[in-house]
Amino acid sequence: MIEQRVATGTGIGFGADVRSKDNSKTLSELFTQVEPEDLVKYGLIPEFIGRLPVTATLTELDEAALIQILCEPKNALTKQYAALFELENVDLEFREDALKAIAAKAMKRKTGARGLRSILEAVLLETMYELPSMEEVSKVVIDESVINGESAPLLIYSANESQAAGAE
């Protein structure tokens, strides 16, 4: 509906500009141009639309925005999980490739920022459960292979001996 309204020209006749489908705008670009009459055509009743003083549009989150959400706010998910691990006197480290893999997984699932917690919970649940009974663990490192389910988190022991161990 929006694309038809904002399109210039008729696209019919000898003098018409030929538009390819590749030149069509993305949904995010089109949503920025939504007008109240588009909402009426979509099926919302005019009385409801009249009660909305401002129509605001949102854009999809990209991978960089999801990584930013994971790391930067004061209550970021990575900081929350690090605080949980700190209760057991264990440092939690997310490598850069792990953060990218988490964001990519959320984009693939189309869950956006809300899906980040479920991904982290699935990855860290077993380790969080087993950690209190483990001796001498000082650090847990999460990389891309852990996020993709290819390996267990890397457990670093305080006796200066590093080994990859599953939380089994």
The string of pLDDT tens digits covering residues 40-94 is 888 999 999 989 888 888 788 899 999 999 999 999 999 999 999 999 999 999 9
Yes or no: say if 115 and 165 are a contact pair by the CB < 8 Å rule: no
Whether 25 has a pLDDT exceeding 70, the answer reads no
Select the more confidently predicted residue: 132 or 15.
132
Q: Is the dihedral of CA 117, 118, 123, 126 positive or negative?
A: positive
* Reported confidence tier of residue 18, pLDDT bands at 50, 70, 90: low
Q: Which residues pair with 94 in a beta bridge?
A: 142
pTM of the model: 0.70
Yes or no: say if 102 and 120 are a contact pair by the CB < 8 Å rule: yes
Question: Could you name the CATH architecture of 63-164?
Answer: Orthogonal Bundle (1.10)
Whether 95 has a pLDDT exceeding 90, the answer reads yes
pLDDT of residue 168: 42
User: To the nearest whole number, what is the mean pLDDT of the chain?
Assistant: 85
pLDDT of residue 98: 97
The string of pLDDT tens digits covering residues 148-159 is 999 999 999 986
pLDDT of residue 56: 84
- The domain segmentation of the chain, as residue ranges, is 2-50, 63-164
pLDDT of residue 158: 87
Q: Is the dihedral of CA 89, 90, 91, 94 positive or negative?
A: negative
